[in-house]
Amino acid sequence: MIQYIFRRLMYTLPLLLGVNILTFFLFFVVNTPNDMARMQLGQKHVTEQAVNKWKVEHGYDLPLFLNTERRSFKQITETVFYQKSIKLFAFEFGVSDSGRDIGADIKQRMWPSLAIALPSLLLGLLVNIFAALMMVLFRHSYLEFWGVVACVVIMSISALFYIIGGQFLFSKLLKLVPISGFGYGIDTLKFLILPIVISVVSGLGSGGRWYRALFIEEVEKDYVVTARAKGLSETQTLFRHVLGNAMIPILTGVVVVLPLLFMGSLIMESFFSIPGLGSYTIDAINRQDFAIVRSMVFLGSVLYVIGLLLTDICYTLVDPRVKLL
């Protein structure tokens, strides 16, 4: 097991290096630091000095890959690539273009993100499974037919509609919950309930449909007939046999996104002004703060890779057929 995890970790290194090089290429080669400086300082009437000053302040004044002015190993370390990209591996995110410490920001902002993303995920999972089970239990009936229709309709509506509509209805008209914002302690719940409900509802369409497909696939397998031939009722078969088997793909699908919950949801957080990583990223995009975007890209891929690893481990725990090699 430990050997396996170690080997998987070794595999992740080239992956992350690939991500790193790709982002580096995007941010520093396609557009040079000079371009960025001009962008930040305004388009017109920028003097050469101002650009250079900005570059020095933000550490972009070094050569990209090889610093020929330095000796031995500083030739490599004193470069933009080393300073800005390699250091990410040690989770040293550096400072943002506006001068804030990105690492500290991330640490502070990931908890609100988690507070909204985790309940949304778990609640959504429960609701989706319940809806799918109901549809499978009453398959070939009108309930299933209209359930599927409802799912298609729900998934055809833009998530933005749920958010805007929900805010309008519950906050503005009914005044049940605040429109947006975030609080701590008991207040949190008040702010969180609407975004959570909305994300559950907007995910119900595709989630319910997908889980139903998984369940139906299992229901048609031979072991279900065996179970029925043993004298189990339809419902017992569904819960004792089908659910367990269908949970394997569902669980592993969920585990992949588990680490990414820290990243939060972009639109949810920005609509509800929740000070999480999602809104942090959006703000950075709107302010064109490249340092933050770059850090978030790297963080996101690290979390995804961890998710992949967790998925593999999870597989071996829930499915007796899978053995780690």
Partner 1 sequence: MPLGMHLIQGVVSMANSVLSVKGLSVQFQTHSEKVYAVDNISFDIFESETFGLVGESGSGKSISALAVLRLLPRSAQMSGDHVYFKTQDLLTLTETGMCKIRGRRIAMIFQDPMIALNPVKSIGSQIAEVIKIHFNLTAPDIHDRVLTLLRQVEIPSPESRINDYPHQFSGGQLQRIMIAAALAGEPDLLIADEPTTALDVTIQAQILTLLKSIQDKVGMSLWLISHDLALVSTVADRVAVMLKGCIVEVAPTMQLFKQPKHPYTQTLLAALPSFDSCSADTVLTRNILLEVKNIRISYPVRKGIFNRVVSHIKAVDGVSFSIQEGKTLALVGESGCGKTTLGKGLLNLVADVEGQVLWSGKDINGLKGDSLRRMRSNIQIIFQDPYSSMNPRMLVGQIIDEGMRSLHPQLSAKKRQAKVAELLQQVGLPVECAMRYPHEFSGGQRQRICIARALAVQPKLIICDEPTSALDVSVQDKIIVLLKSLQRHYGISYLFITHDLAVVAEMADELAVMYQGKIVESGPVYQVLNDPQQPYTQRLLNAVPKIVWD
Partner 2 sequence: MILLISSVSIGVLLRNHDGLKRPLKKIAANKSAMLSMIILLFFLAVGLLDSIHFRAEGQRSSGVISVLDYCAKPLWQHTEKTYSAPFSAYLYSKEYITQDGGDKVWAFPRLQFGGSHLTNPESEKTSDLLSLLMTGLSKGLMLCMAGVGLRGLFVGKKSEQSARRYCPGFVCITISILIVGVAGLMELSMYYHIFGTDKVGEDVFYQTIKSIRTGLVIGSLTTFIMLPLAVIFGILAGFYRGWVDDLIQYIYTTLNSIPSVLLIAASILMVQVYMANHPESFTNLESRADLRLLFLCLILGVTSWTGLCRMLRAETLKLREMGYVQAAKVLGVKPFGILLQHILPNVMHIILIAVVLDFSALVLAEAVLSYINIGVDPSTYSWGNMINGARLEMAREPVVWWPLIAAFVFMFILVLTANLFADAVRDAFDPRRSQYGQ
Q: Is the Cα dihedral 30, 34, 40, 41 positive or negative?
A: negative
State the binding partner of 229 from partner 1, partner 2, none, CB within 5 to 8 A by kind. Answer: partner 1
88 binds partner 2 (CB under 8 A): no
Which part of the chain contacts partner 1 (CB under 8 A), choosing from 118-126, 237-245, 254-262, 305-313? 237-245
* Options 13, 66, 160, 189; binder of partner 2; rule CB under 8 A: 160
User: What is the nearest approach in angstroms of partner 2 to the Cβ of residue 42?
Assistant: 10
Which part of the chain contacts partner 1 (CB under 8 A), choosing from 97-105, 200-208, 239-247, 251-259? 239-247
74 binds partner 1 (CB under 8 A): no
| C-beta separation of 284 from 192 below 8 A | no
Cα 155 to Cα 153: distance, rounded to the nearest angstrom: 5
| C-beta separation of 259 from 310 below 8 A | yes
Q: Is the Cα dihedral 151, 154, 158, 164 positive or negative?
A: negative
> Which is nearest to 4 in space by CA: 321, 309, 319?
309
* Options 74, 100, 107, 221; binder of partner 1; rule CB under 8 A: 221
* Options 19, 121, 132, 227; binder of partner 2; rule CB under 8 A: 19
Q: Nearest 5°: CA angle at 155, between 152 and 160? A: 150
* Options 4, 15, 53, 228; binder of partner 2; rule CB under 8 A: 15
Check residue 71 and report its DSSP letter.
-
281 binds partner 2 (CB under 8 A): yes
User: What is the nearest approach in angstroms of partner 1 to the Cβ of residue 51?
Assistant: 49
